[in-house]
Structure 1
Amino acid sequence: MLTALWYGLGTAVPLFLGAAIGLLYNLPRPVLAGLMAFGAGAMVAAVSTELFAPAFADQGLWAAGGALMLGTVVYVVADRVIENMLGPAALGWALMLGALLDGVPENAALGTTLAAGSGGIVLLVAVAVGNIPEAVAGAASMRSALSHRSALLIWGVTAVLLVAVVVVVTAFADSLPEAGIPLIQAFAGGATIAVIADSLMPEAYREGGWWVGICTSLGFLVAFALGA
């Protein structure tokens, strides 16, 4: 159980630190754009190698693909609702929503990996690498709508929830249906793809321009190399 707690903190602390950086420091727009693009690339690597590939291998195209599309639709619809409610301030909330929709299934998958005794370090690194720029960008976008304390509290609650997911799933992994975790992973992959397409990359390109493609590839390469 202590190992699960440490792994949970390994995903949550980067998220919280990223949010604190985004709130407390006025990062230059090109730097913020580069971080978002780097995170997008890391998330692409995580989806392809750590989330969808295992689900596809275990459950096949139709089941894994259905879960992937469900995760995408859930994020897109929720993001649209937030955008209609908040307008220009929606980006930060959308990125936090993305952190939850992909973070909860990812951390659940991490918990089952720990319960199976197979380590989980690869997935831990991939999640942590993606969490930092996602939180930096999301929190920075919240500064105009919320006080620093309120925004930091929201991201802190999100981080605590992610820790709890790892601990609880590790403790009760034996009770989960065999097909549950691969489908949860595929769902997380779909939500992650939607975060990249709807929130991270459009904003990164708008703020950074043509060169963010280089940062995206670099993020993919780093995450892939860490997981190789």
Structure 2
Amino acid sequence: MFAAAGWGLLAGSALLVGALLGYLVRVPAGVIAAVMGFGSGVLMSAVAFDLIDEAHDLGGLVPTAGGAATGAVVYTAANVYLASRGARHRKRSGGQQPSESEQAGSGTAIAIGALLDGIPESVVIGASLIGGGGVSAVTVAAVFISNVPEGLSSAAGMRQAGRSRVYVFGLWTAIALVSGLAAMLGNVALAGADPAWLAGITAFAGGAILAMIADTMIPEAFEDAHLLVGLVTVAGFLTAFALSHT
């Protein structure tokens, strides 16, 4: 249980590392976009070769497909609501994020959106420790690598929107802590679960992550690196694929 919390906290801490870079350093928009594309590829590979593949091995096609589709629907529905409250561009590094004066409540919506993006990843990290086996190193590495550009891009956008350092670093510190808690809860809640249920929940997280990539990460990557986004995304995909076969 505590090992799961530690791994989840480690992966979540990358958000804070990225936020520090994004808020304190003037990183060129093209670099942010390229790194975001790389992170997108890493997560795509982890979902395809780790989460969905594992879910299929556990429960077969029906729980896997059903879980992934449900995860995508639930994430998209929540994301649509949060977008209407001001969190549509929470991972954008330019001036797209609204300030609190432009849209009241947008700060809260952005915070909830950031939690929405990170929880499925952390739950899967915790679930990977069920049965006494080692943590899925590929999943932890993929989440860590992808979290850095997420935090970087989002914090840069928050700075553009005029949000304070206390808000930015308080938010990402809290989300890193929640990531550890979510991993611990995933480990405890899913221990002893029927393989079909575990498959469905793992696939649910995979579907939610894929929807998140398409809704929030790829648009930022394409915004300023559209001529290179395909190449850097494939580079990230192959990096994670290589990690899964070492």
Please indicate, yes or no, whether the TM-score normalized by the shorter chain is above 0.5: yes
Residue matched to 2:231: 214
Residue matched to 1:137: 153
Q: Does 1:123 align with 2:139?
A: yes
CA contact (8 A) 2:5 2:126 kept: no
Amino acid at match of 2:125: L
Between Structure 1 and Structure 2, the one with more helix by share is: 1
CA distance in 2, matches of 1:84, 1:165: 26
CA distance in 1, matches of 2:7, 2:90: 30
Q: Residues 68, 100 of structure 1: CA spacing in aligned structure 2 closer, same or farther, 3 A cutoff?
A: farther
SS in 2 for 1:115: coil
Residue matched to 2:198: 181
Deviating above 6 A after TM superposition, structure 1's stretches of 4 or more consecutive aligned residues are 93-96
Number of residues paired by the alignment?
228
CA contact (8 A) 2:138 2:240 kept: no
Q: Shift in Å at residue 27 of structure 1?
A: 0.9
Q: Does 1:22 align with 2:22?
A: yes
CA contact (8 A) 1:55 1:182 kept: yes
CA distance in 1, matches of 2:111, 2:65: 24
Q: Shift in Å at residue 196 of structure 1?
A: 1.7
CA distance in 1, matches of 2:85, 2:110: 15
CA distance in 2, matches of 1:2, 1:166: 9
CA distance in 2, matches of 1:167, 1:87: 27
- Cα deviation per residue 1:7-49 (whole Å; 9 max; x = unaligned)? 2232122122112222222210110001110011001101101
- RMSD (Å), alpha carbons: 2.5
Q: Say which of 83, 101, 109 aligns to 2:124.
A: 109
CA distance in 2, matches of 1:64, 1:53: 9
Give the structure-1-normalised TM-score: 0.87
Q: Residues 139, 177 of structure 1: CA spacing in aligned structure 2 closer, same or farther, 3 A cutoff?
A: farther
CA distance in 1, matches of 2:56, 2:162: 41
Amino acid at match of 2:33: A
CA distance in 2, matches of 1:87, 1:123: 26
Q: Shift in Å at residue 189 of structure 1?
A: 1.2
CA distance in 1, matches of 2:39, 2:112: 16
Structure 2: which 5+ residue stretches go unaligned?
93-106
Residue matched to 1:203: 220
Residue matched to 2:166: 149
CA distance in 2, matches of 1:87, 1:50: 29
Amino acid at match of 2:55: A
- Cα deviation per residue 1:85-139 (whole Å; 9 max; x = unaligned)? 2277544589866654453233223223223222122221122122111221222
Q: Residues 183, 95 of structure 1: CA spacing in aligned structure 2 closer, same or farther, 3 A cutoff?
A: farther
- Cα deviation per residue 1:180-210 (whole Å; 9 max; x = unaligned)? 3322221111111112212211221111221
Amino acid at match of 1:71: G
CA contact (8 A) 2:42 2:237 kept: yes
Which moves more between the two structures, 114-123 or 94-103?
Answer: 94-103
CA distance in 2, matches of 1:224, 1:26: 31
Structure 1: which 5+ residue stretches go unaligned?
none
